[in-house]
């Protein structure tokens, strides 16, 4: 009995062993989702999309295959380019065993995430860039409509066409507009049709004909083709293809308004001879008050301006400027250029009219260049004088007149030129110069070069120095403590001539300074540089 039990137990063990082996074989054959152990490398990958685990893969290739399938499924049903914000991450590790998901299962998980993060449908668009300005249109046809509208504002007879060409200087595909006359367009088309090359005697005749210079002759006014002869865009224009959401694409009519209508644009105006604020403001449709507010250098409407000063003004300009040239016929009165006769013994401030001018009359054909509505240049092509203008003849000096500088460094002005209350007994109620308070011993310099005519005591002036200058003016320096020059001595501008003091009729240490023109004192501050 014992022997029978032993045999039975052995059979059970053998059967159990065979069953276990069979299960293992079947598991290996029919359960491929388990990873295979690999020594020294990653064999198990956690796949995440937007930080959400979508499955586990046995290789990176399986993860990428699932992602590609998910994007194909996601794109189905959309006519336009469709995007989704996604971030795929694959984290590897080495394990002994573990279950993996099929690419199809991971792909299905990914599709749901892609759909939840789908961006607004993007449409093909064309961005027109004009300097720093940009506008987006939905088609090339709208781009052409905008550009043709811009030049059509000045090309009333539609003599010119716009074509888009690829910019050869750019690495990316950028289109730029080119404006051609309809004659040029027709010539290009004919040249394209007649591509068959000429040969022999026919080719030689064509070359001679093309290289021959046109015959020169004196054209009559009726020979000129008046009107628009040239037109182009005044700004750099670039067109780039892009994909944009609906809300970033501009309606064509709105885009035309934004690009072609005038807007107030800040510019710099250089003051010309004869300009005053009252004449500048109306040129730019401004009031004098508005012009003053725009310029910090202008304190009020009475502020003095000089030739060459720069002022901020507002000029109406479109985003896209147009340059064009018109050939025009006109008749006009004209002035001859002023003729000058130099006099080397006069200062440049001296002049005399030797002959008064009178206007002439002429007929003209000229090419006038414009930017928008502003004339930028005139080139006369034909001129016929009806009667000649008489020029103005002016005699003028060539010697640069001397300049005058403040005779001391620093100092505080205590009394100006003109009427005043007597500061002390014996002083005049009309001050004939300027006083600067300064410590005794301050260096006094010659205001301009000249010859010393007085150097010493001068009664109320105390110690003083008088200097006669080449332009006939005279400068006087009073209340000095020490005189450093002599009568008849020549001095240069800025040369030290005395030390300041408190001599004569004086209320304290200071320098009294005068400038005389024609023997009479004038306000020195009006002549100092």
Per residue in 317-327, pLDDT tens?
A: 899 999 999 99
Q: Which two tokens stand for residue 228?
A: 């628009």
Q: Which two tokens stand for residue 310?
A: 């720069």
Tens digits of residue pLDDT in 442-478: 999 999 999 999 999 988 899 999 999 999 999 999 9
Rounded-to-integer distance, Cα 48 and Cα 91, Å: 8
Rounded-to-integer distance, Cα 56 and Cα 62, Å: 9
Check: CB of residue 272 under 8 Å from CB of residue 281.
no
Please provide the distance, in angstroms rounded to a whole number, between the alpha carbons at the two ends of the chain: 141
Q: What's the predicted TM-score (pTM) here? A: 0.51
What DSSP letter does each residue of 284-300 carry, written as one string? TT--HHHHHHH-TT--S
What per-residue confidence (pLDDT) applies to 415?
87
**What's the number of CA atoms in the CB half-sphere (13 Å) around residue 370?**
20
Partnered with residue 371 across adjacent β-strands are 323, 374
What per-residue confidence (pLDDT) applies to 3?
46
Closest CA to 59 of 72, 75, 41: 41
Residue 391 burial class via C-beta count within 10 angstroms: exposed 0-12, middle 13-18, buried 19 and up: middle
Residues of the chain with pLDDT under 70: 1-40, 77-84, 119-121, 171, 192-217, 420-429
Rounded-to-integer distance, Cα 410 and Cα 388, Å: 59
- Look up tokens 């008088």; give the residue: 466
- Cα radius of gyration rounded to whole Å, the chain: 47
- Look up tokens 């010859």; give the residue: 451
What per-residue confidence (pLDDT) applies to 30?
45
Q: What's the Cα-to-Cα distance from 207 to each of 53, 65, 188, 214, 453, rounded to whole Å?
A: 76, 65, 18, 14, 85
Rounded-to-integer distance, Cα 233 and Cα 254, Å: 20
What DSSP letter does each residue of 368-424 carry, written as one string? EEEETTEEEEEEEEEEEEEEPPBPPEEEEEEEPPP-B--SSSS-EEEE-SEE---SS
Rounded-to-integer distance, Cα 475 and Cα 452, Å: 10
Q: Which domains does the chain have, with CATH numbers?
A: 44-116 (no CATH), 263-317 (3.10.350.10), 324-399 (2.20.230.10), 412-526 (2.70.70.10)
Rounded-to-integer distance, Cα 285 and Cα 262, Å: 14
Beta strands (DSSP E) in 411-517 are 412-415, 418-419, 430-431, 434-437, 443-445, 450-457, 463-468, 474-483, 490-491, 496-500, 510-517
**How many whole angstroms from its chain centre is CA 351?**
42
Partnered with residue 351 across adjacent β-strands are 396
What per-residue confidence (pLDDT) applies to 273?
84
Rounded-to-integer distance, Cα 374 and Cα 284, Å: 12
Q: What's the Cα-to-Cα distance from 354 to each of 138, 243, 343, 392, rounded to whole Å?
A: 69, 73, 13, 8
Residue 483 burial class via C-beta count within 10 angstroms: exposed 0-12, middle 13-18, buried 19 and up: buried
Tens digits of residue pLDDT in 102-131: 999 999 999 988 888 876 667 889 999 998
């Amino acid at each position: 009995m014992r022997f029978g039990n032993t045999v039975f137990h052995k059979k059970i063990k053998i059967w159990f062993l065979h069953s276990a082996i069979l299960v293992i074989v079947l598991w290996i054959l029919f359960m491929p989702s388990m990873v295979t152990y690999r020594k020294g490398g990653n064999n198990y990958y956690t796949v995440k999309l937007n930080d959400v685990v979508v499955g586990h893969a046995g290789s990176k290739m399986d993860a990428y295959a699932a992602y590609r399938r998910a994007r194909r499924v996601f794109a189905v049903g959309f006519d336009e380019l469709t995007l989704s914000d996604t971030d795929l991450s694959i984290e590897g590790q080495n394990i002994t065993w573990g279950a993996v998901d099929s690419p199809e299962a991971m792909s299905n998980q990914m599709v749901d995430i892609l759909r939840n993060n789908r961006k607004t449908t993007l449409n093909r668009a064309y961005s027109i860039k004009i300097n720093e300005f940009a506008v987006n249109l939905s088609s090339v046809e709208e781009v052409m409509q905008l550009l043709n509208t811009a030049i059509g504002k000045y090309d009333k007879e539609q003599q010119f066409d716009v074509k888009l060409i690829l910019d050869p200087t750019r690495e990316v595909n950028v289109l730029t507009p080119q404006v051609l006359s309809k004659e040029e367009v027709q010539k290009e088309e004919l040249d394209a049709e007649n591509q068959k090359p000429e040969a022999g005697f026919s080719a030689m005749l064509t070359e001679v004909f093309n290289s021959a210079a046109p015959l020169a002759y004196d054209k009559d006014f009726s020979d000129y083709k008046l009107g628009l002869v040239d037109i182009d865009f005044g700004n750099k224009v670039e067109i780039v293809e892009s994909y944009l959401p609906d809300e970033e694409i501009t309606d064509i009519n709105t885009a035309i308004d934004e690009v072609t209508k005038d807007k107030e644009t800040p510019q710099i105006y250089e003051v010309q001879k004869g300009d005053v604020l009252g004449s500048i403001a109306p040129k730019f449709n401004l009031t004098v008050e508005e012009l003053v507010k725009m310029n910090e250098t202008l304190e009020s409407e009475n502020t003095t301006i000089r030739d060459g000063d720069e002022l901020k003004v507002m000029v109406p300009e479109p985003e896209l400027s147009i340059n064009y040239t018109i050939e025009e016929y006109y008749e006009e009165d004209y002035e001859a250029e002023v003729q000058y006769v130099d006099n080397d013994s006069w200062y440049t401030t001296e002049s005399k009219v030797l002959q008064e001018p009178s206007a002439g009359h002429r007929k003209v054909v000229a090419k006038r260049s414009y930017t928008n509505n502003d004339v930028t240049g005139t080139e006369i092509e034909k001129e016929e004088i009806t009667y000649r203008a008489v020029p103005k003849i002016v005699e003028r000096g060539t010697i640069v007149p001397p300049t005058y500088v403040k005779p001391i460094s620093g100092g505080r002005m205590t009394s100006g030129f003109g009427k005043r209350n007597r500061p002390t007994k014996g002083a005049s109620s009309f001050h004939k110069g300027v006083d600067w308070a300064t410590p005794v011993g301050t260096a006094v310099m010659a205001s301009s070069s000249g010859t010393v005519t007085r150097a010493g005591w001068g009664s109320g002036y105390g110690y003083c120095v008088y200097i006669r200058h080449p332009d006939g003016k005279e400068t006087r320096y009073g209340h000095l403590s020490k005189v450093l020059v002599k009568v008849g001595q020549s001095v240069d501008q800025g040369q030290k001539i005395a030390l300041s003091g408190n001599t004569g009729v004086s209320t304290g240490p200071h320098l009294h300074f005068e400038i005389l023109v024609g023997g009479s004192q004038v306000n020195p501050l009006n002549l100092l540089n």
